Amino acid sequence: MADKLIIFDTTLRDGEQSPGASMTKDEKIRIAKQLERLKVDVIEAGFAAASPGDFESIKAISATIKDSIICSLSRANDRDIARAAEALQAAQRKRIHTFIATSPLHMEKKLRMSPDQVLEQAIQAVRYARNFTDDVEFSPEDGSRSEMDFLCRVIEAVIKEGATTINFADTVGYGVPELYGTMLKNLRERIPNSDKAIWSVHCHNDLGMAVANSLAGVMIGGARQIECTINGLGERAGNTALEEIVMAVRTRKDYFNLELGIDATQIVPASKLVSQITGFAVQPNKAVVGANAFAHASGIHQDGILKARDTYEIMRAEDVGWSANKIVLGKLSGRNAFKQRLDELGITLESEADVNGAFARFKELADRKSEIFDEDILALVSDEEQANDNEAYHFVSLAQHSETGEMPAAKVVFSNQGKEISCEGIGNGPVDAIVNAIESKVASGAELLLFSVNAITTGTQSQGEVTMRLSKSGRIVNGVGADPDIVVASAKAYLSALNKLESKSEKLNPQI
Ligand code: KIV
Ligand code: ZN
């Protein structure tokens, strides 16, 4: 019988470490529910000791998700581990994931600890974590740049203490498939009790090899768990992309011969949700989830596809959840039809008041846009959730004038803690004008690092989804806004980014 390959999703933890990708508790719950529909085996819901926000999110996810194992990251100390255990209390199945760096560089320069001290701390951490759960994962951080003899000592000792998963981390994306896979194989062969744990891979994509390294870890090294994120989101160049791993293993079952528990038809909805919530757009030529992944432009390819689909297609778009943009609702649809579509999309709004709020937004949108697609519904639910998040700033209205040869001008009305504020500004372009208008009242002084617009469905009727990334005093946040008018979407995105900048939650990065 084929072995099972465990899919460990870390979108909510390592993915959230991407600059600007921080998510609210409600956003994390929505993503966790989608990950459950996708049937991932393990959801790393966060790093409990990082901030009160992370703690609360893990707690809420633990109470909500029934099918996947819920995991919290923790550094190798009692305080972090106890915090992780507390956040995970309500989970039906829980895992504590503890880690400490083992490479000479990290031990000497970052931790300022001797190898013996690191070994002792790793042992203590696993021993302590076992008081709370039988499911304990240990990661030697920067494992791929660690010395073999030392790694063997540490891993043998933590398995003896009861670590049930060993995660060989390629923290800085330094690995090369053959070398990474072989190092893992050697570890498993040299460590006498290696068969007492499941081996896992965790690869970063700095050299574009995260997926290749992970698969080499499986095929050469014998790993049976892959840590990955939706859309490959993650620190710096990101992590191993879940969708690429799943479809590689499924499409090339002849080679990998591994079983997966994943429902692949939930991949594209998961990709869209994560992209929409974090503001990280998916590049069109991205494997599996990019808009062009199944588009055949050349005449020869189109001709071939029409004659026999498998001439140029190795996967079917519908198998990963692509559907032609379906008109799902329109101006005449009622509240029940709207609520039913929310249910079908797996969206549960907390109260009837929230459903009413989202329905009012839907009616308003349907007045301006005759065809409403699933993507529109996802965007308006996000808008409604932002409105309910006790955020300071809310968009109210906008008037904007642009004419060739004249300086664009904008008048924006927004509310701050319920009080309406009207402001005016001019700028080099319409977006500059609205930002200047808002800044004339808010004076945040934030720097705009990125501005991007994407059509969320096809056709000129589509809503534009704008992402604005702001930076202030070392903090980076992404704001997202959607509207059929892209200048309005820009104003919404700017206010959403300001709200995130104002939220006080300071977060610890586990790896610092
Ligand atoms: O990249 C890394 O080393 C990590 C560990 C915490 C597993 O994310
Ligand atoms: Zn990582």
Please tell me the number of the ligand nearest to residue 47's CA: 1
Amino acid 225: pLDDT = 98
Evaluated on CA atoms 249, 253, 258, 259, the torsion sign reads positive
Strand partners, 453: 466
Amino acid 327: pLDDT = 64
Question: Could you tell me where the DSSP H helices lie in 279-372?
Answer: 299-307, 335-344, 352-368
Amino acid 305: pLDDT = 72
Give the list of residues 6+ apart from residue 148 with CB closer than 8 angstroms, or none: 183, 186, 187, 190
Q: How far is the CA of 303 from the centre of ligand 2 (A)?
A: 43
Amino acid 324: pLDDT = 62
Amino acid 504: pLDDT = 67
Amino acid 275: pLDDT = 94
Amino acid 505: pLDDT = 67
User: What letter represents residue 7's amino acid?
Assistant: I
Please tell me the number of the ligand nearest to residue 71's CA: 1
Task: For residues 64 and 291, give the distance between their C-alpha atoms in angstroms, rounded to a whole number.
Answer: 32
- Counting Cα atoms < 13 Å in the Cβ hemisphere of 470 gives 21
Evaluated on CA atoms 120, 124, 125, 126, the torsion sign reads positive
Task: For residues 319 and 331, give the distance between their C-alpha atoms in angstroms, rounded to a whole number.
Answer: 31
Amino acid 434: pLDDT = 97
| Residue with CA nearest ligand 1 atom 8 | 14
pLDDT < 70: residue spans in the chain:
296-299, 301-302, 324-327, 388-389, 504-505
Amino acid 325: pLDDT = 56
Is pTM beyond 0.95 here?
no
CB-ligand 1 contact for 228 (6 Å cutoff)? no
Amino acid 98: pLDDT = 98
Instruction: Give pLDDT tens digits for 324-376.
Output: 656 678 888 889 889 888 887 778 787 888 888 899 999 999 998 888 888 88
List own/partner pairs for 184-187 with CB under 8 A and 24 or more apart: 184/217, 184/220, 184/221, 184/222, 184/223, 185/220, 185/221, 185/222, 186/148, 187/148, 187/151, 187/152, 187/155, 187/221
Q: How far is the CA of 467 from the centre of ligand 2 (A)?
A: 25
Please tell me the number of the ligand nearest to residue 172's CA: 1
CB-ligand 1 contact for 138 (6 Å cutoff)? no
Amino acid 110: pLDDT = 97
Asked if 164 contacts 195 with a C-beta cutoff of 8 angstroms, the reply is no
Amino acid 183: pLDDT = 98
Residue 227 alpha carbon, nearest atom of ligand 1: 7
Evaluated on CA atoms 16, 20, 25, 31, the torsion sign reads negative
Is 202 among the annotated ligand-binding positions? Answer: yes
CB-ligand 1 contact for 169 (6 Å cutoff)? yes
| Residue with CA nearest ligand 1 atom 2 | 171
Task: Tell me, yes or no, if the two domains 3-278 and 389-502 fold the same way.
Answer: no
Residue 10 alpha carbon, nearest atom of ligand 1: 8
Q: Is 90 exposed, middle or buried (CB count within 10 Å of its CB: 0-12, 13-18, 19+)? A: middle
Asked if 376 contacts 357 with a C-beta cutoff of 8 angstroms, the reply is no
Residue 167 alpha carbon, nearest atom of ligand 1: 7
Token pair of 177 as six digits? 């498939």
Amino acid 370: pLDDT = 81
Q: How far is the CA of 151 from the centre of ligand 2 (A)?
A: 18
Q: Taking the domain 389-502, which CATH number applies?
A: 3.30.160.270
Q: Where are the domains of the chain?
A: 3-278, 335-386, 389-502
- Pairing verdict, β 3-4 and 198-203: unpaired
Amino acid 297: pLDDT = 63
| Residue with CA nearest ligand 1 atom 4 | 171
Question: Could you tell me where the DSSP H helices lie in 8-77?
Answer: 25-38, 52-64
- Report whether CATH 2.60.40.10 matches the domain 3-278: no
Task: For residues 392 and 490, give the distance between their C-alpha atoms in angstroms, rounded to a whole number.
Answer: 17
Task: For residues 247 and 373, give the distance between their C-alpha atoms in angstroms, rounded to a whole number.
Answer: 26
Amino acid 136: pLDDT = 99
| Residue with CA nearest ligand 1 atom 1 | 171
Amino acid 460: pLDDT = 86
CB-ligand 1 contact for 171 (6 Å cutoff)? yes
Helical (H) or strand (E) element with 217: helix 210-219
Amino acid 453: pLDDT = 94
CB-ligand 1 contact for 99 (6 Å cutoff)? yes
Amino acid 477: pLDDT = 92
Amino acid 463: pLDDT = 92
